[in-house]
């Protein structure tokens, strides 16, 4: 799944009024143990399909996508064509051409393409897009209104002229972005509406690492990601001594968020004046959690593993847990020593 992360770096969840259907494609050269070609289809920020040159098959990631493709053979044929026929060979050839054009020999090189369309449900406006990147830099973009390619880097000008000379290819891109993609986006919305436009309320907990740590109001399992969360004191929203965490995705497609409150200057008797408010867009009633010391789940005396935003883990071992860890390690060392001595004898 690491390779998918490279394709979906700029993927985000769409708002209720705007919907998007995006295709991410990447070809690589000089990368060992990595597919030469891979592609992903993303609807409203959700991965719905994936393929690569190693597996040689289209994998659907949502149940409703399978039903859609069963009833729309044109889309299925398009995905098979994009995964196994035209783009894999073309991307390989283009990387070779680019290397020659830029006097590159050997090394690792990656060619990426993001294409698709967005639809504003309120205004009815569609916007198609197709953009290439080479070795991590924006390279070329297609304008469906003029049916021409635009160089995003000075070094791409020569290649742009060659691509614009291919009128048939430009016309194909224009039809795809202005006709096919909008049609498929609406079909995806019809099939996936029950799943993608659902509303799920979270479970809210009060957490505290140590008695002197901030109290964290943690909400998890909510959907969609359009949610606000804050601390109040005597009914007034707090802005000082409050740390708002970002909304992060869960593995099941739902979201989580935390808001920390520093209470160093307050006595435990004053805690009842605080509460945590969670509001989910489209839901009338808020979830209000009173600050109650008896309901705080503390991690003191336990091993705490916190996943940071960059994907790294920050492990904190309090003194009580550290003693246990040390004892386990000591027992393992003693056991290994006895084993070696017995074997030697």
Q: Cα separation of 174 and 189, whole Å?
A: 22
In this predicted structure, what is the pLDDT of residue 316?
A: 38
Residue of higher predicted confidence among 73 and 131? 131
Closest residue by Cα to residue 214 from 246, 247, 262, 251: 262
Phi, psi of 91 (to 5 degrees): -60, -40
pLDDT at 77: 86
Cα 167 from Cα 175, distance rounded (Å): 12
Query: What is the chain's mean pLDDT, rounded?
Result: 81
Q: Find residue 110's DSSP bridge partners.
A: 28
So where are the chain's domains?
2-196, 203-300
Tell me the average pLDDT across 208-227.
91
What pLDDT is attached to residue 247?
Answer: 93
Spatial contact of 98 and 109, defined as CB atoms under 8 Å apart: yes
Angle between helix 63-71 and 73-84 (nearest 10)? 110
Q: What is the percent of the chain where pLDDT is above 70? A: 80
Q: Which residue has the higher pLDDT, 56 or 336?
A: 56
Distance (Å, rounded) from C-alpha 236 to C-alpha 274? 9
Distance of alpha carbon 6 from alpha carbon 163, whole angstroms: 26
Residue 266 binned pLDDT confidence (cut-offs 50, 70, 90): low
Residues 166 and 171: their CA atoms lie apart, in Å, by 9
Tokens of 124: 């009815």
Answer yes or no: CATH 2.60.40.10 is held by domain 203-300: yes
pLDDT attached to residue 265: 66
Is the pLDDT at 7 greater than 80, yes or no? Answer: no
Tell me which architecture the domain covering 2-196 has in CATH.
Answer: 2-Layer Sandwich (3.30)
Structure tokens, 190:
């019809």
203-300 shares the fold of 2-196: no
Better pLDDT: 194 or 260: 260
- Of the listed ranges 68-72, 115-119, 182-186, 307-311, the least confidently predicted one is 307-311
The Cα–Cα gap between 75 and 68 comes to 9
Question: Once rounded to an integer, what is the mean pLDDT over residues 106-111?
Answer: 89
- pLDDT at residue 114 is higher than 50: yes
pTM above 0.75, yes or no: no
Q: Are strands 18-29 and 126-134 parallel, antiparallel or unpaired?
A: unpaired
Give the pLDDT score at 321.
38
The pLDDT of 124-129, averaged and rounded, is 93
The answer on pLDDT for 338 being more than 90 is no
Residue 271 confidence (pLDDT): 85
The average pLDDT across 49-74 equals 87
């Amino acid at each position: 799944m690491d390779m998918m992360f490279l394709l979906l770096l700029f993927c985000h969840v769409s708002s209720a009024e705007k919907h998007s259907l995006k295709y991410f494609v990447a070809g690589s050269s000089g990368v060992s143990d990595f597919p030469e070609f891979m592609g992903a289809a993303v609807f409203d920020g959700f991965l719905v399909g994936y393929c690569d040159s190693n597996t040689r098959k289209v994998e659907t990631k949502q149940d409703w996508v399978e039903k859609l493709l069963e009833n729309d053979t044109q889309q299925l044929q398009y995905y098979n064509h994009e995964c196994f026929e035209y783009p894999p060979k073309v991307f390989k050839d283009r990387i070779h051409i680019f290397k020659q054009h830029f006097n590159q020999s050997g090394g690792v090189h990656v060619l990426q393409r993001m294409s698709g369309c967005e639809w504003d449900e309120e205004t009815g406006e569609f916007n198609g897009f197709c953009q290439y990147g080479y070795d991590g830099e924006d390279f070329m973009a297609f304008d469906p209104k003029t049916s021409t390619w635009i160089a995003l880097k000075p070094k791409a000008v020569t290649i742009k002229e060659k691509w614009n000379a291919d009128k048939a290819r430009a016309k194909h891109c224009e039809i795809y972005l202005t006709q096919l993609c909008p049609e498929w986006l609406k079909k995806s919305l019809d099939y996936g509406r029950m799943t993608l436009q659902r509303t799920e309320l979270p479970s809210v907990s009060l957490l505290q690492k140590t008695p002197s740590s901030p109290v964290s109001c943690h909400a998890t399992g909510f959907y969609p990601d359009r949610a606000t969360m804050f601390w109040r004191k005597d009914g007034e929203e707090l802005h000082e001594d409050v740390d708002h965490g970002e909304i992060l995705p869960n593995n099941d497609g739902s979201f989580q968020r935390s808001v920390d409150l520093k209470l160093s200057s307050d006595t435990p008797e004053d805690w009842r004046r605080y509460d945590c408010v969670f509001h989910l867009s489209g839901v009338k009633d808020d979830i209000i959690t009173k600050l109650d010391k008896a309901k705080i789940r503390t991690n003191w005396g336990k091993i705490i593993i916190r996943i940071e935003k960059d994907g790294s883990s920050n492990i904190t071992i309090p003194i009580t847990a550290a003693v246990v860890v040390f004892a386990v390690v000591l027992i393992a060392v003693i056991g290994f020593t006895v084993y070696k001595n017995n074997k030697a004898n």
